[in-house]
Amino acid sequence: MKNSKFTLGMGTFRLQDQVAYDSVKMALEEGYRHIDTAQIYGNEADVGQAIADSGIPRDELFITTKVWFEYFDDVKFIDSVKESLTKLKTDYVDLLLIHWPSPKDDVDMALYLNELKKAKALGLARDIGVSNFTIAQTQQAIGILGAENMFTNQIEVHPYLQNDKLVGFCQANGIKVTGYMPFAYGKVLSDKTLKALAEKHAVSTAQLVIQWLAQRDIITIPSSTKRSNLISNLEKINITLSDEEMAQIAMLDCNDRQANPDFAPEWDASR
């Protein structure tokens, strides 16, 4: 990221209309500068309006959006990105991602990744990357784009789905990992092991999970509609989890995947 203040962002998945606007506006008021959205979320216009109304200079922000597979051709792709920029009220995004690989490889990966590369060349995006790509797909993408041109692979990561193999592969190739759904829709926040560790360190369970991700060098983008949660998630906490504590959390991995639509690729084993 530009610097450390962007390593924790505000996710907007499932936030719609006024709720999306209010949540992003609150996040920006509380100090968030990394906002993540996507074409398929249907909230780019609300996110863009909240950003515009915040009055924060554009160069202080890190905005991510993602291209939906409906636009994976050399006619629709760039136009869809320009439409996203219009909705977001910006001339560029800091990061443009392929949201999901083409279902069943219906579209040649080289075609849509080269369109992604073209979007960057046209100045529509500062950096590019992928999301929900398996190890094999990431390897294929490296062959097309070069690892140096892939900023991140945005994937599901939380204590119940730690995705060690994929995380390790990406990081070994110099590709940052962005973990979405860090709380697994709140499921991990009631976990006894995590709650005990959080109590030991005098932090919230959410803060503990964010620290666990940070120690794995994973960017994360939790979502919330509550100002108190937004503040708590962003708060700088002065703790370091020991190797033993990290090992305790590692034991919680049960391959409990939350995002698994029927068009998803054949996932790698978590470990």
Collect all residues with Cβ–Cβ distance below 8 Å to 172 and sequence separation of at least 6. Answer: none
Q: Give SS3 for 10.
A: strand
> Tokens representing 128?
């590019």
Choice among 1-5, 54-58, 202-206 with the minimum mean pLDDT:
1-5
pLDDT for residue 2 is more than 70: no
Over residues 1-5, the mean pLDDT reads 54
Side-chain-side CA neighbours of residue 73 (13 Å): 4
Q: Give SS3 for 89.
A: coil
The C-alpha atoms of residue 36 and residue 38 are separated, in whole angstroms, by 7
pLDDT at 3: 46
Annotated binding site: 99
pLDDT at 26: 98
Which residues carry out catalysis?
41
Sorting pLDDT into bands at 50, 70 and 90, what band is 7? confident
pLDDT in tens, 249-258: 999 999 999 9
pLDDT for residue 132 is more than 90: yes
At the topology level, CATH places domain 4-182+217-224 in TIM Barrel (3.20.20)
Annotated binding site for substrate: 99
Question: What's 215-259 look like in SS3?
Answer: HCCEEECCCCCCHHHHHHHHCCCCCCCCHHHHHHHHCCCCCCCCC
pLDDT at 5: 61
Collect all residues with Cβ–Cβ distance below 8 Å to 97 and sequence separation of at least 6. Answer: 38, 64, 65, 66, 67, 128, 129, 130, 131, 152, 154
Q: Give SS3 for 101.
A: coil
The whole-model pTM stands at: 0.97
pLDDT at 1: 56
